[in-house]
Structure 1
Amino acid sequence: LGGFSFFDNYKNDQDWKNFGTSHFYVPKLMVTVTNEGTFITSNYEINEQTSVEDLLLQYKEYDDFLEKFGMKQPSFTQSECINKDEFEPNEWIQSVKEAIHQMKNEKLEKVVLNRTLNATFSSEVNSTKVIYELEATRNVNYVISYQLKDTVFISATPERLISKKNNTVSSMCLAGSAAKGITKEENTEAADWLLNSKKNNGEHAFVVNYIRETLQQYCNELSIPSTPRIMATKSLLHLFTPVEGKLYNHVSLFELIQALHPTPALGGFPKEEACKLIRELEPVDRGWYGAPIGWIDLNGNGDFAVGIRSALIKEDKAKLYAGCGVVQDSKPEEEFFETGVKFLPMLNALGGLRNER
């Protein structure tokens, strides 16, 4: 279980110093819940000195832990947001304007810009409670929590990067979004607008074409619908296109991750030029925001999502991340509003803005 940073180096990694550019766990205890049942897996480190008695003692320790702690519903104290600060909002809008200006003068068609929000809470944030809150209102594909020492990265992301089961791979194209309405009629109107938006469909097409061209190098069969559909999350509607493929020979999951990351949905297009501009315009390191995070098993099968709609939590403070795709037709103030909407589900789960949807 683990993940990577968005870039392979940091400008200033103080917030992310525990995470580095990659980190993976082999879990001591793992609970897997599937349609076939619930399974508990325990892993043990064995060396030349390990005896059967050592393993039995370790097994008993794990079993006692599950009996005492693992099967009880946890209790929580409620943290409330006492202060929130959107980091340099005016400068961020200027960055969007600069990106649009550069697109008109250079061979750059899309760039994804991230912005951050810093929040302080009335007490130390309980990351387990945040997971429970996100699961209670879950309408995304993944809720991920990854803790290293006193820092936790949490993501409630709708977006898969790549999964692999034997020679079958799955990915998705998720780009282009609109805020949800309050009523069913407003949502229908927003979905119709999104499906017919030239700007959003163009942004979505970059992702579709990129994933198609990348996976064609590894697959002899590739299924991608010709038109996108709508995926709804708590606050947003997205243009969504599923991708399925059959690998023509053995390719590792990590090789596929390296080939795909970052897609135009998280970086931009062309990739190299977009990433260079991101480094120039974003003052805050992305860390694991927007980067691959997931699992891989001993057979090389696994599933990796991208860590968007996320927060980095330490004690009573959290840094929230949200991004948007900028193209030539983008309007900076609208992109600012969109990223603000993307902050809300995580901010609510952390303990802030209970009265906002």
Structure 2
Amino acid sequence: MPNRPSPIETILDRLDTFLATLPAGSDGLASITLVTPELRLQRLPPLDGSWFYWGEPSRQRYLLGIGEALRLSTCGSERLDRLSDQFEQQRTRWLHLDPDASGFHATAFTGFAFDPDDPMQQSWSGLPNAAIFFPELLLHQTPERCAVTFSFNHRSRRRVRLRSRHLLQELTAALLHEPPLNPGPNRISRTAAMPSYEEWILQVREATQQIRQGSLDKVVPFRRISVRADHPLNPSRLMASLDDLYPSSLLFAIRLDGSTFAAATPERLITRQHHRISCDAIGGTIHRSPERQEDRRLGRQLMNDPKSRHEHDLVVQGILASLAAHCGDLTAPAKPTLKRLRKLQHLWTGISGELQGDATLLKIADALHPTAAVSGFPSANAGRWLSDHQNAARGWYTGAAGWLDRQGDGELAVLLRCALLSGENAELFAGAGVTSESCPIAEFQETELKFGTMLEALEHA
């Protein structure tokens, strides 16, 4: 009885078949998507080299990219406009074959820093200021189906089979790899904090004074803490922990040039589906209680807190103003609702509209970012305050990341509740919205609550 071909050989043989159908002499990117139920993803597998990960645990939707077929990068004041133009040039020549009618689109990952001029030094040195990454191999997964997309430049198609074999072998080995023995809870200890508690109190007091003088309405300073674990932090275990603990969050992780960055954020910057745009407005935070009645009381307290409602209204106002030039039929409820997470609850308003003209996802993101939720209001005045107080160089924290596809659709999440990993060490980031009624101690406590998301997950990494 003849030996049955391995799943990898079957996939490669099918890839060869469709490679032969590509038109000769073409330029630009080509992608081929094949349904592959045998490669189903259970969690982020342990991988070497460059990889990209996007997860929506509540919908059981995941993207995992390996390698780079192409990278586009920019920085500076018009970075997202230029990045969008570069992407559109590629998109018009991007050939995609979907012979199995999987319904998945050829997709790239993207991410950018908070500050367009951030030089991305020190801990951030492995990540670009703003970039789009086209993975060589992309695993798509929904509850209904799973597929792999191979992407390559037409001119390198002769090497596609060899490279695809290598990537498939790496992926299948990682998916079949038994998870490493869990050495037990990872004890996390703090090693540094910037600014110090005393510096934070002075900074917030100064901000509230300036707000009361009328120069701005809100500003969002941030804190950074460094932590150390008992043993090396494992990105695979970290993302599995975040998936379990925070299923309503959006998960993003990237490994690039030696840097590993991970986030579990509650906030979408923008989603584009055909001509429909939607955004999250989040502002105002309070903790949760395991006791149901007390948890509801805390939610009512947040809903009725004048300071939190004012802070939230500024976020909504800023997003609506930014979208007005690009969208019609903008809608936003008159009152926010509660977005409940594991240990926090936020005021949340969903905003949607119909896209007008030919604005792209990244150009609308350029108009939106930074929102009042992460910078302040008005945006220009808040930006100057942050720059003057050394709060602008944040790397990708409070920037955005996500995916965009060959159709021009995509999704970007604001990078909150995030960490930079390096061996046993990690850096964590958290901010708080300061308005005229802010209490410096209460804002400090809010950042501590926000640090708790990643600190809890790191204990299992």
| Residue matched to 1:127 | 235
Of the three residues 279, 285, 293, the one matched with 1:185 is: 293
Q: Is the 8 A contact 1:76 1:126 kept in 2?
A: no
* TM-score of the aligned structures, taking structure 1 as reference length: 0.92
| Residue matched to 1:58 | 163
Gaps of 5+ in 2: 1-108
Write the distance in 2 (CA, Å) between the matches of 1:282 and 1:190: 34
* Stretch moving more, 65-74 or 224-233: 65-74
| Residue matched to 1:4 | 112
Among the aligned pairs, what percent are the same residue?
Answer: 29
- The root-mean-square deviation of aligned C-alpha atoms, in Å, is 1.9
Residue 4 (structure 1) shift? 0.7
Write the distance in 2 (CA, Å) between the matches of 1:82 and 1:224: 42
Describe how 1:101-116 pairs up with structure 2 within 5 A. Answer: 101-116=209-224
Q: Is the 8 A contact 1:179 1:235 kept in 2?
A: yes
Gaps of 5+ in 1: none
| Residue matched to 2:369 | 261
Describe how 1:1-357 pairs up with structure 2 within 5 A. Answer: 1-10=109-118, 13-47=121-155, 50-51=157-158, 54-78=159-183, 79-87=186-194, 88-282=196-390, 285-351=393-459
Corresponding letter in the other structure for 2:356: Y
Q: Is the 8 A contact 1:114 1:282 kept in 2?
A: no
- CA gap of 1:267–1:299, structure 2 versus 1, over 3 A, is same
Corresponding letter in the other structure for 2:179: P
Residue 82 (structure 1) shift? 3.9
Residue 105 (structure 1) shift? 1.9
Write the distance in 2 (CA, Å) between the matches of 1:31 and 1:288: 24
Number of paired residues? Answer: 350
- CA gap of 1:301–1:249, structure 2 versus 1, over 3 A, is same
- CA gap of 1:19–1:60, structure 2 versus 1, over 3 A, is closer
Residue 294 (structure 1) shift? 0.9
Q: Is the 8 A contact 1:13 1:285 kept in 2?
A: no
Residue 73 (structure 1) shift? 4.8
SS in 1 for 2:123: coil
Write the distance in 1 (CA, Å) between the matches of 2:198 and 2:315: 28
Write the distance in 1 (CA, Å) between the matches of 2:150 and 2:176: 15
Q: Is the 8 A contact 1:263 1:271 kept in 2?
A: yes
* Stretch moving more, 106-115 or 86-95: 86-95
* Stretch moving more, 216-225 or 315-324: 216-225
- CA gap of 1:75–1:139, structure 2 versus 1, over 3 A, is same
Q: Is the 8 A contact 2:222 2:391 kept in 1?
A: no
Q: Is the 8 A contact 2:190 2:225 kept in 1?
A: no
- CA gap of 1:67–1:351, structure 2 versus 1, over 3 A, is same
| Partner deviation per Cα, 1:137-176 (whole Å, 9 max, x = no partner) | 1243311111222221111100000011111111011001
Q: Is the 8 A contact 2:192 2:227 kept in 1?
A: yes
User: Highest relative contact order (Cα 8 Å, sep 6+), 1 or 2?
Assistant: 1
| Partner deviation per Cα, 1:59-91 (whole Å, 9 max, x = no partner) | 333333333223445325444324443331211
Q: Is the 8 A contact 1:3 1:22 kept in 2?
A: yes
